[in-house]
Structure 1
Amino acid sequence: MDLFKCALLGCLCLMSLPSFAYKVQPMVAEMAPLGKNAQMSMRIDNTGTQSLTVELEPLSMSMDSMGNETTQPADDDLLVIPVTAVIEPGRSQSVMVRYLGEPSITQSRSYRISVRQVKVDRGESNASNVGLLLQFNTLLNVRPKNAKAELSVQNIESKDEQWLVEVRNDGDSYGRLTNSNWSISDKNHSVFLKGNEIRDKVAGTLVLPKSSRVFVMESLEGFDSVPTSIEIENLD
């Protein structure tokens, strides 16, 4: 699931469960594989009216060509302290995240820090019943020094009045469509889109290194997918 969709789902849940509202910052972060930048802090704010219990888990993340994610535990790569916290209403909890993986990586690696809210109900027997409530999956990219993204459009197809745009990343770093400019042209038209404008027309932004991803894009009025071409200017 794309980060935007995760954040939107979290916001919807927050609106429906105001008593258990909380925020996680930052939702997107970058770290280095070694040195002082191999460590960062997160903050969890309890904005609700009841005591909040959260559990945290580091997950490695991969992505297929359609943007579907696969995650698995990454305790050997990331140290997260604390892994469980109880936060009182109006209070915050600082969380330390440190990269413990291979320091000499040549390509960026992507992770999720799963922050799961749990509710502990105590019945007459005083036994704890734990039920899952809200969950945020923050995005963390570990990028080696001098690694860069190299995005290019490989193919454009038309489907159901939308475009399927295949973007290839030949670089050693993750790339984001919002960190690029697009020059779109056919035989009769041309348009220039900047990062934020691209985000408004394309579902998703992230492309992992040495991989391709197909994005669903809002078709441009007056343009046909063929012979339209898109040239990407990488800003990273």
Structure 2
Amino acid sequence: MRKLLLLLICLANPVIAYQVQPMIVDLASHGKKSMVTYRLQNPSDSALPIEIQVFKRTFDDNQKEVLVPAEDDFIVLPPQIEVPAKGYQVFRAKYLGAPELKQSESYRIVFKQLPLPNEDEKSGVKMVFNFATLVFVSPDGIEAQPENTLVCPDLENCLLTIKNIGNRVLDLAQYEYRFHQGKTVFSWTEFQPITSGRFIMPGHSVTLELKTLLTEKPTQSVELINLLNKK
């Protein structure tokens, strides 16, 4: 799940890019919480033509992300507009897919920059910035559930596999990571450099190399403590 926050294609010298917030959203499958409001800021001196595209995230056998067009699952307003120079535009996206989901689904809502008329002829270069936001849609009453397996014959070959056996997307940033019966504790900030991404979808897993994180071989499996439930 690499490069979740930004898809950026730049074929010329660096320029001021537009900004989109929020980049990660967790929505309900129906009701008021099934809608998100985006704000796109255009700091440049030129108008910015923008088109919105919606894709559902699927995964191949190697758990690599594969995007499938899913325009019918969301309504985004406006779907296309020209954002004025030094200005901003508000976009609203509402989930319209199946309300009775059994587990979390995930999408990319992509803000695609369109070239201005005659832009290539004027500048001789083509610059494109695409922002791919990440959207999770989850039904009520479900939870993520991490299951971890530690294989560590020695510190140099120490692998931790975390699998989400629950039905809601698993957010690794919500956990504290404890080794050596709780004597060694890592926060997400410290744990993040050895992960390939922050989120694990239901039924998926990540395998992490611990040799750069630990200085001593763990004596048993790591304990994950959900900080939202921690007292």
TM-score range, shorter chain: 0.7 to 0.9
Structure 1 equivalent of residue 190 of structure 2: 197
What's the TM-score, normalizing by structure 1? 0.80
- Candidates 155, 172, 183, aligned match of 2:167: 172
CA shift for structure 1 position 157: 6.3
**2: CA distance between counterparts of 1:16 and 1:162?**
43
**2: CA distance between counterparts of 1:194 and 1:65?**
30
Does structure 2 retain, via aligned residues, the 8 Å contact 1:178–1:195? yes
**2: CA distance between counterparts of 1:28 and 1:185?**
33
**1: CA distance between counterparts of 2:20 and 2:106?**
18
CA shift for structure 1 position 216: 5.1
Corresponding position: 1:120 with 2:112: no
- Candidates 206, 209, 215, aligned match of 2:199: 206
Structure 2 equivalent of residue 49 of structure 1: 45
Which residue identity lines up with residue 95 of structure 1 in the other structure? F
Corresponding position: 1:75 with 2:75: no
Structure 1 equivalent of residue 91 of structure 2: 95
Which stretches in structure 1 are left out of the alignment for 5+ residues? Answer: none
CA shift for structure 1 position 9: 5.8
Corresponding position: 1:185 with 2:177: no
Corresponding position: 1:22 with 2:18: yes
Does structure 1 retain, via aligned residues, the 8 Å contact 2:146–2:165? yes
CA shift for structure 1 position 74: 0.9
**2: CA distance between counterparts of 1:25 and 1:35?**
22
Structure 2 equivalent of residue 153 of structure 1: 148
- Candidates 33, 37, 42, aligned match of 2:33: 37
CA shift for structure 1 position 210: 2.3
The CA deviation string for residues 13-55 of structure 1, in whole angstroms up to 9 with x for no partner, is: 5x95325x20001000111111111112111110112111111
**2: CA distance between counterparts of 1:63 and 1:157?**
28
Does structure 2 retain, via aligned residues, the 8 Å contact 1:153–1:230? yes
RMSD: 3.3
Percent identity for Structure 1 against Structure 2: 26
What's the TM-score, normalizing by structure 2? 0.82
CA shift for structure 1 position 132: 6.2
**2: CA distance between counterparts of 1:215 and 1:65?**
18
Matched residues, number = 225
CA shift for structure 1 position 194: 2.1
Does structure 1 retain, via aligned residues, the 8 Å contact 2:152–2:217? no
**SS at structure 2 position matched to 1:107:** coil
**SS at structure 2 position matched to 1:199:** helix
Does structure 2 retain, via aligned residues, the 8 Å contact 1:33–1:144? yes
Q: Higher strand proportion, which one?
A: 1
**1: CA distance between counterparts of 2:185 and 2:23?**
29
Does structure 2 retain, via aligned residues, the 8 Å contact 1:116–1:132? no
Which residue identity lines up with residue 197 of structure 2 in the other structure? G
Which residue identity lines up with residue 73 of structure 1 in the other structure? P
Corresponding position: 1:231 with 2:226: no
**2: CA distance between counterparts of 1:58 and 1:145?**
23
**2: CA distance between counterparts of 1:59 and 1:70?**
9
